[in-house]
Amino acid sequence: MEPPVLVSKMLTFVLAGAVAVLATLGFVLLKMIPLERPEIFFLLTPTRSSDVVIVPMDNERMLNFYLQGFVREYIIARNTLYSGAQSYITRNNWSNVVKLWSSEKVFKDFTKTSLYRDYVFSTTPPSISCSVNFEGTNNERAIKEMHNGWYQANFVWVCKDENIGGQTTSKNYKIQLRIDSELQAKMSGTLENLEKLRQNPLGVQVVEYVIKDDMGDPLDSDTKSW
Q: Which helix (DSSP H) or strand (DSSP E) does residue 54 occupy?
A: strand 53-56
How do residues 68-110 score in pLDDT, each as one tens digit?
A: 889 999 999 999 999 988 999 999 999 989 998 999 999 999 9
The pLDDT value given to residue 222: 74
- What per-residue confidence (pLDDT) applies to 185? 42
Contact indicator for 162, 127 with CB cutoff of 8 Å: yes
Instruction: Kindly report the pTM of this predicted structure.
Output: 0.72
Side-chain-side CA neighbours of 27 within 13 Å: the count stands at 6
Kindly tell me if the per-residue pLDDT of 192 is higher than 60. no
